[in-house]
Amino acid sequence: MKKAFLIAIILLNLKGYSQLKEGQNFCSPNEDGVYFPLAIDSKKIFWKNTYYIETNNGKKIIKEKEYTEIKQEWENKTVDLMYLREENNIVYEFDECCENETIRFSKDFKIGDKWNKVDNSMEYEIISFSGELKTPYCEYKNLLVMQAKSASNTFQFYYLKGHGYIGATVNINGATVTKKLISCVTPE
């Protein structure tokens, strides 16, 4: 009985790491990877005091362009869908609100590059390609750090090559540079 339980635990852990390439560690980058991989099968992501499971739902055609549909199912069973595609080393997100695309990332971005979400609700800026983030699971280094400013908050989103999104902080106390971890990916 103990042996069967141990085998079940091992199999569950292997499934949780299914988006990793052979020999790749959960906390380590895939140097050949990209910051916005569209082929990741599933991730569990904590956000504030809840979580969501992000899964690749396959391809969908929108306005004659092929997107990868990403499903984000929250702990309370609500679902958000995100549509991403890559063309010429640029990752685009289709925004249903505006029936148009927003650039999410370009391989040609440099520190200081800025752009807006198609509905102007968010301003993005590349802050660093050598950022660091400590989560309960890993101490990451050499991260892409993208700042996102809305009318009410300023977030820093962190991306690891080959893994994609791995966490976020939010600035607290107005103009103070104190950052609080509000989101991170989990190996579960």
Split at pLDDT 50, 70, 90, the class of 175 is low
Residue 13 has pLDDT above 80, yes or no: no
Query: Which pLDDT score, from 0 to 100, does residue 171 have?
Result: 86
* 3-class DSSP assignment, residue 130: strand
Between CA 119 and CA 7 the distance in angstroms is 49
Per cent of the chain over pLDDT 90 is 65
Residue with tokens 């569950």: 12
Helices (H), ranges, the chain: 2-16
Q: pLDDT for 95-121, tens place per residue?
A: 887 888 999 999 999 999 999 998 999
Residue percentage of the chain with pLDDT more than 70: 84
Smallest CA-to-CA distance from 62 within 38, 12, 35, 96 is with 96
Higher pLDDT, 148 or 24: 148
Mean pLDDT of the chain: 84
β-bridge mates for residue 56, sequence order: 70
Q: Tell how strand 154-160 and strand 50-62 pair up.
A: unpaired
Neighbours of 60 (CB within 10 A): 14
Q: Which residue type sits at 186? A: T
pLDDT in tens, 115-139: 999 899 999 999 999 999 999 999 9
- What pLDDT is recorded for position 1? 40
Distance CA 169, CA 154 (A): 9
Residue 65, pLDDT score: 95
Average pLDDT over residues 41-62: 94
pTM of the predicted model, to two decimals?
0.83
Contact 29, 163 (CB under 8 A): yes
Which single residue is written with the structure tokens 């991730």?
A: 43
Token pair of 72, please?
A: 């984000």
Residue 159 confidence (pLDDT): 96
At residue 178 the predicted structure's pLDDT band, cuts being 50, 70 and 90, is low
Nearest to 113 by CA among 104, 121, 180, 150: 104
β-sheet with 139-149: strand ranges across: 100-106, 90-95, 79-87, 65-74, 50-62, 42-47, 179-186, 164-171, 154-160, 139-149, 123-134, 114-116
